[in-house]
Amino acid sequence: MTDRTHASSSDVSDNLENWNDRAEVHAHGGYGDLDAFADDPTALTPVVMKDMAVLRDHLPDHTMQGRRLLHLQCHLGDDTLTWWRLGARDVHGLDFSPAALNHARRLAARAHAPITYVEGDARFASEVMPDKKGFFDLIVTSVGTITWLPDLREWAQSIASLLAPGGIFTIRDIHPLLFALDDDGLTIVQGWFSGTEITYETDQTYTMRQDDGEEERTGGIVGKAEAPGPRITHTTNHN
Ligand SMILES: C[S@@+](CC[C@H](N)C(=O)[O-])C[C@H]1O[C@@H](n2cnc3c(N)ncnc32)[C@H](O)[C@@H]1O
């Protein structure tokens, strides 16, 4: 039987290949000077600062101190390291790309941050780390994540089962409508509902100011995340 928790032979294997390639481009300049980021204990990423600005009000003491945190689709680990620097503990990062995780582990080691990185498909995270069911106070994923997942039902169930009672899941992502618009930002040229799939090839990545890859995108985010039981307490739009 195929192990669905690892993506190399699954329905997202093309995405995996693409992300392994991108990880190298991003690690070698695309994401700036990562060594300098690791070496500066005060350095934080704008992605996490923006998430934290919203999350803060939902945390019992308005801080990350001591929170057990899982970062899904952690990529090179600069955001994961930021969560640790903000006080999160028992920090875990999960991604399906071994290339991205190599860089994430190197970054954490350089920064002396005890972060655990796990390889696996985000849709099945609770199967990847079964010993962590009911463990995390916080699960986060941000910017350019669920657009890569063909279906969100198992993903949402997985998150629900990894959260501790009263735990918080937070997501910030690009509105799927943006993917349906033409470059002029005014004309709808594609459907944006769940299950719409775009397949394309290019040798660009977004750090070169272009988007690329084989992408499966899903609308109806809120309804799907809610399906297995979590209570949605806050949604907002950003420019
Ligand atoms: C756009 S990056 C996340 C970016 C992150 N916010 C950052 O700024 O670094 C998307 C990440 O999702 C990962 N990914 C895509 N599909 C995945 C899947 N099915 N399971 C786990 N990770 C996946 C990719 O390897 C990549 O590291």
pLDDT in tens, 104-113: 999 999 999 9
Distance of CA 48 to the CA centre of its chain: 11
pLDDT in tens, 29-53: 989 999 999 999 999 999 999 999 9
Q: Would residue 231 count as lying in a domain?
A: no
Q: Would residue 222 count as lying in a domain?
A: no
Which among 187, 121, 192 is positioned nearest to 158, based on CA atoms?
A: 121
Residue 127 belongs to domain spanning: 7-172
Q: Would residue 228 count as lying in a domain?
A: no
* CB 221 less than 6 A from any atom of ligand 1: no
* CB 75 less than 6 A from any atom of ligand 1: yes
Q: Comparing 132 with 231, which gets the higher pLDDT?
A: 132
Q: Comparing 236 with 177, which gets the higher pLDDT?
A: 236
Place of tokens 């089962």: 161
| Extended beta strands in 21-162, E state | 68-72, 89-95, 116-119, 136-142
Average pLDDT over residues 112-118: 98
Q: Is 1's pLDDT higher than 60?
A: no
The total of structural domains in the chain comes to: 1
CB distance 173 to 221 below 8 Å: yes
Pocket test for ligand 1, best of 75, 129, 162 (most atoms within 8 A of CB): 75
What's 27's domain CATH number?
3.40.50.150
Q: Would residue 220 count as lying in a domain?
A: no
Average pLDDT over residues 120-124: 96
pLDDT in tens, 135-190: 999 999 998 999 899 889 999 999 999 999 999 999 998 766 666 667 777 777 77
